[in-house]
Amino acid sequence: MVFSSITFIYYFLPMLLIAYYIFPRKCRNIILLIFSLVFYFYEERNIILVISCIANYFLGILIEKNKSKQYLIWGIIGNIAILGYYKYSNFFIENINSITNANISYFNIILPLGISFFTFQNLSYIIDVYRGEIKPQKSIFKYATYITLFPQLIAGPIVRYKDVDKELDNRKENFDDFAIGVKRFIIGLSKKVLIANTVGNMCVILNDMANKTILSHILEAIGYTVQLYFDFSGYSDMAIGLALFFGFHFKENFNYPLIATSITDFWRRWHISLSSFFRDYVYIPLGGNRVKLIKWVRNLFIVWALTGFWHGASWNFILWGIYFFIFLLLEKLFLSKYLKNNIISHMYTLIIVICSFVIFNMPNLASIGEYFKNMFGISGLPFTNKETLYYLKNYIVIIAISCIAATPIIKTISGKMQNKKMFTKITNILEPVCLLTLLIVCTASLLSNSFNPFIYFRF
């Protein structure tokens, strides 16, 4: 089940809200747990989520009771082994077969939904228990509620236990949070349905063109970057909004990354929960930047190779991570002094990011090289043709809207208007009307359009 579906919006969510608020407060975690499991197993049949949840619950208790690093090590190995088996075993078999000419049979594996996210949440929990940063949860039902909490279960953000532990035991739902949650959910839904899906459809059309051009490749690369951003940030907005319905406050996962003026700045703004996870649980334990230069470079390389590999069992994802490692290294060594808050730095960052998502999107290494040759005019393609200009004309409005929506311009203007009494009453009337209109338009789009992928579900 996905958030951007009629089933979720008009059946699952209303039933959950009714059950959640009519039952006594002491039952609310159980209600959330039951509905979260229904949400997950609506399309998933693998019970590894349940097994992993129970195992890590008991590990947390053992680690705290015995103060032993041994249990932590076994917990880390166990969690990584589960992730490795489901996500990477066939990747390793494929490469062993390719290198040695062996004929090892592939495992018949279907990747469980959200395994990359709930595995990292389990890891952060047992590590934080060992470090003494949190106390282990005594109730298995409350821990299961944390792990399976449906807003973040399938595609994040990666929510750490210490950020919601107090709210698991004692949270206060209120109308203001609920209203903000509705607003965040509808805005996220609109980003996903009206922008990401539309631009994604453009990318499919451009990719299927018989007579491609340099401009069609550039447009497709820009389009995929826009699609990925609005797809994932829209999902995060919906997750944060949904959590507010039930009194949970998730941290922001995106902060207008496409306005960044360096790659370092970009990764402070993009998928914040993932980059902070690798910073706190890999980079800093390795020594961070408080070591000799060669070890610091090693630490940076390990983090970004793992970041790429986390996204998928393919060499293009590893290359994508290493690609960012190279630019981050260059910036930290000498480029940063030249990167100011200006249009040149912004254009540099956008070009690097757009090219990175070409790598991210390609199925294999050979296709990456071919795409870049076409994109940069090395393969002899014409710059444009009538077909390319036709599709550019058809999609120029949504591209322009996405460029505006990727910046904080609307938020800034709205904030300034709210500070003026003259506009406050107008805003109070217009905002609900606009949100209701967006919901109606999104609903109509979902009813009429079958193109509705969530890109991060495959990670």
Show which residues are catalytic: 311
* CB-based contact 260:336 (threshold 8 Å): no
Closest listed residue to residue 303, CA positions, set 331, 320, 278: 278
Q: What burial class does residue 253 get, using C-beta atoms within 10 Å of its C-beta: 0-12 exposed, 13-18 middle, 19+ buried?
A: buried
Task: Compute the chain's Rg from CA coordinates.
Answer: 23
| Tokens standing for residue 219 | 């447009």
Closest listed residue to residue 12, CA positions, set 30, 29, 37: 37
What is the number of other CB atoms lying within 10 angstroms of the CB of residue 185? 26
The amino acid occupying position 375 is M
* CB-based contact 196:227 (threshold 8 Å): yes
Rounded CA separation 102/104 (Å):
6
Q: How far is CA 160 from CA 13, 33, 278, 431, in A?
A: 24, 17, 13, 33
Q: What burial class does residue 21 get, using C-beta atoms within 10 Å of its C-beta: 0-12 exposed, 13-18 middle, 19+ buried?
A: middle
Name residue, tokens 């949840």.
Answer: 53
Rounded CA separation 385/344 (Å):
29
